[in-house]
């Protein structure tokens, strides 16, 4: 007999709701997660809530501490120093693989990337920062998809989830937006030229440049006013 397909498990829906609240900083980094209050808000028992928290813990979004409860993960400067070089290596590899796997006879992939980049340029001209963040993610994700390596993409997305916990964003630093656009132009040019090594280097350097911008923001915020 063919087993029936079950609908999405309750704990998965709860995990997604909590994930979005964490990304929106409704649940702030470092804060204690009140399980009883959340269970009451969602009208569920503690069991699916705890299963959801285990999922988020596996993604690095929360920390489960024995006898102390659950806390939203707090990203420290050392965490950023550890994560950004990894993402730089992985996304650089994606850019190189994207060049090698793109069908040179079919220009659709390159046209799609060019269109995504033009959207970035347009949004920047209109100073729509919230939209820029989304368009920037779409540009990076498109390159990852072109690489066709689902394992690379999975690890990158997991690391990017953790980075969303940071309340700082490099593009908020004065001058960083235009610098980022220039770096994107270089990445796109390397992809269009079919130069895998150059695309890898430019993507790698682009990510590390973002970390340097965050470091400058943290340094400025720590200075007395």
Residue range 45-60, pLDDT digits in tens: 999 999 999 999 999 8
- pLDDT class of 5 with cuts at 50, 70, 90: very low
b (16+ CB within 10 A) / e for 207-219 = bbbbbebbbebee
The answer to whether residues 48 and 5 touch, using CB atoms and an 8 Å cutoff, is: no
- Topology of domain 10-72, per CATH? Arc Repressor Mutant, subunit A (1.10.10)
Q: Which CATH architecture has domain 77-222?
A: Up-down Bundle (1.20)
Residue that has been written with the tokens 């964490």 in this structure: 22
Which pLDDT score is estimated for 208?
Answer: 95
Domain map of the chain by residue range?
A: 10-72, 77-222
For the chain, the distance separating the N- and C-terminal CA atoms, rounded to the nearest angstrom, is 71
pLDDT (mean) for 178-194: 94
Residue that has been written with the tokens 């992939």 in this structure: 109
Q: Whole-prediction pTM value?
A: 0.80
Cα–Cα distance between 11 and 62 in angstroms, integer?
Answer: 15
Residue closest to 77 by CA, chosen among 224, 211, 225: 211
């Amino acid at each position: 007999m063919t087993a029936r397909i079950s609908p999405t498990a309750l704990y998965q829906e709860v995990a997604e709701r909590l994930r979005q609240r964490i990304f929106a900083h409704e649940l702030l980094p470092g804060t204690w997660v009140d399980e009883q209050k959340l269970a009451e808000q969602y009208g569920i028992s503690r069991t699916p809530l705890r299963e959801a928290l285990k999922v988020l813990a596996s993604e690095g979004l929360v920390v489960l501490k024995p006898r102390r409860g659950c806390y939203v993960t707090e990203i420290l400067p050392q965490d950023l120093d550890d994560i950004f070089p990894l993402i730089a290596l992985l996304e650089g590899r994606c850019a190189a693989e994207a060049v090698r796997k793109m069908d040179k006879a079919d220009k659709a992939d390159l046209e799609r990337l060019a269109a995504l980049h033009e959207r970035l340029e347009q949004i920047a001209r209109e100073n729509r920062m919230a939209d820029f963040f989304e368009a920037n993610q779409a540009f990076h994700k498109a390159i990852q998809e072109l690489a066709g390596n689902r394992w690379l993409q999975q690890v990158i997305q997991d690391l990017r989830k953790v980075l969303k916990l940071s309340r700082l964003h490099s593009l908020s630093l004065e001058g960083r937006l235009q610098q980022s656009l220039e770096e994107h132009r270089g990445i796109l040019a390397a992809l269009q030229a079919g130069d895998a090594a150059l695309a890898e280097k430019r993507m790698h350097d682009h990510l590390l440049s973002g970390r340097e911008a965050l470091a400058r923001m943290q340094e400025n915020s720590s200075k007395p006013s």
